[in-house]
Every structure is written in structure tokens, then in C-alpha cells.
Chain A
């Protein structure tokens, strides 16, 4: 399996080191008021000339409650997590999921509290030119 070519049969995806040089690393942040039982999602469509190497995903809720998040590349879900107040997914330095140019990375988080909550999230990653 070459870098950048997903193997759909086993739902495997290339991972790589985040330690490349001369790359731009960014964190972005978003916030949403999520109704009880509702979800917030962030879709990131990667430009065709770049890969997005995802280092970390974080989601926060101001109240204690077992919430749920997952991370998708195109239609395949690679990471699920139940969490309480802070949902963090840190990918190892040599095992970061790579979203190829033209693909979509999606982070979905669900508010399982009985009231509306303002939840915040951030995504940290690297755009590398192909």
C-alpha cells in the first residue's frame, strides 16, 4: 500500500510521521451550541495539492456527561471515543492519519446531556504539499 492510497478492503489508511520539516502546522477551533442529543460536526475538505496529517482532535463540554465523538475520512470511521467533559484524541508522532488531497476529514461530536450545551473543538494538523 503506497502512501496516500487507502485500502478500502480492510478500512486501513496510511499513517505517517508528523516530523517532516518545512511544513505548516495549524490548529483551528470551532464552537457550537448543541441541543440535547444533537451533534456538531466539522468537515475539512483538503485541497488537491496537499495532504492533511492530523495530529490531535479535542472536544470540550462544560458539564459532566458521557458524550461521544468519532473521526471519519470520507465514508470510513477510524476512531470512536466516549468521553466526559474533555474528549481528546492524540495521534502518535509516527502514526498520524493522513487525509489525501480531495478527501474529507470529518469530526463528529454528540451532546448526550439533557440540556443544550456550548461545545468547543479544535483540530491540529499539518498541511504538506504533495
Chain B
């Protein structure tokens, strides 16, 4: 997926009590439209690690 200068990279990270990373999700927001995209360029409504 093209990473343009008009996309903000968002990373959601979940860690356990000891600080070990147990989950991570990366997505992108188009700053012109506000649309959230996953790493494959598909639109998502919410980023979730549930």
C-alpha cells in the first residue's frame, strides 16, 4: 500500500503487567478524509485488539 505524506500512522499496542507486548495493530488515517485504513489498505471503522 502506498504510504503517502497525507497518512498518519497509528499503532495500537497491548502489553501485559510485565511490559511484554501481547498484541499490536498498525493502521493508517487519511488526513484529508479521516478514513482509517488497515495495513492492506482496506477501510476499517475501529481498531481493535479484543
Count contacts on A: residues with CB < 8 A to the other chain: 28
CB distance from B22 to the nearest CB of A (A): 7
Question: How would you classify the secondary structure of chain B's contact residues: helix, strand, loop or mixed?
Answer: strand
Q: A49–B34 Cα gap in the complex (Å)?
A: 16
Count contacts on B: residues with CB < 8 A to the other chain: 26
Q: Check if A30 sits within 8 Å of B48, measured CB to CB.
A: yes
Q: Check if A49 sits within 8 Å of B6, measured CB to CB.
A: yes
Q: Check if B29 sits within 8 Å of A28, measured CB to CB.
A: yes
Q: Check if A35 sits within 8 Å of B10, measured CB to CB.
A: no
Q: Check if B16 sits within 8 Å of A28, measured CB to CB.
A: no
Which of B5, B6, B31 has its CB near the most chain A CB atoms (within 10 A)? B31
Q: Check if B15 sits within 8 Å of A39, measured CB to CB.
A: yes
Q: List chain B positions with a Cβ less than 8 A from chain A.
A: 5-17, 22-23, 29, 31-34, 36, 46-50
Q: List chain A positions with a Cβ less than 8 A from chain B.
A: 24, 26, 28-50, 52, 118, 127
Closest 4 CB pairs of A and B: A37-B17, A26-B34, A127-B31, A32-B49
